[in-house]
Structure 1
Amino acid sequence: MRTFWRNGYAATSMNDLVEATGLSRSTIYNSFGGKKTLFALALKEYRRVTTGTVAKISRSSDVRGSLRALLISIVDDELSDHEGFGCFAANSSLEISGRDPELSALVAQHFQRLESGLLRLLRHGQKTGEISPDQDCQILSRYFVAVIQGIRVVSKGLPAASRQPYLHSIVEASIATV
């Protein structure tokens, strides 16, 4: 997963995969069918790794606090990402979207799972009165998925000196919409 995450799908060679896995080229082909299957497995593993984040936001009782904490954790991830890895799902979406329907569907599942967790949180907020009943929680959950992925992508192009205040302003503006 880390090899694909670091290099991307297209730039990862079979030699990279042989080195990363310790398996021979023939074993990779015989066991997994090749690079695409390994990439699909890497996306599934990333989904498993990020399950805790989705579960955490789904169970919270403080909706705005949870949303802020989630967005701040995304900002913190980006600020501490000195290797430039970013989000594997965002990177993969940008690289393969529209090029491979099967791999695109796996990326979409990641975003859908995040959206579902946010939707549960926002609906809970409506039940407790923290979120206005006039708000469409489905649209809000999609909005926050877009904000999260936007933070991930935009942060890569910002000068280091302005990254933190810029990203924090996005967090505060996003929370204000709720």
Structure 2
Amino acid sequence: MVKFKEDWYKLYHVHYQQYPDDCIENIYWLEKAAQADFCNPQFADFKVESEKQWEKYRYLFQMHINLKLIEQHLRLGRTYDKKCIYFYDAPWKEEYLRNMEKALTCYKAGLYYWQEAKVWCEKSSNASFNFLYITEKQNWEDERERIVKGELNYEKMLNREISRLEKNIEELNSMEKTY
């Protein structure tokens, strides 16, 4: 039975060839994981030895789920994104505009999850957690550290994609069929 956050997270998986339905499925699993309760520490993915460790684990898990949601929204958005606009795209203008609006929605949703990830990162970086590392979840610790140092900044990436996409939408809207 899928009941706890850890169970929902186990349903998340990345396909070799990722189609929109796969991204949407993963987004569903990750959102369910974000909303669910944590299991008992006794059944966590690693041996929990203290309340402080359990608290940091919960913060890191929430941060990680939000980062994965951003990645899935980026993947889904790229499916609908038209990177470059050419003069000969005019006959398919309406279709391109519909797809680009979907991509824009995906990128903007990613910004929401970035704000959430930063909140959980800040909580897991509290001074009370100095010298407490969950080595069994080293990749989560690395993600946290990269966010703190500014090396991982999805906001910058998403804003760049949004501004490029809005510029392309403007260009496409101003386009007239000339042939």
TM-score (norm 2): 0.37
**Rg larger for:** 2
TM-score (norm 1): 0.38
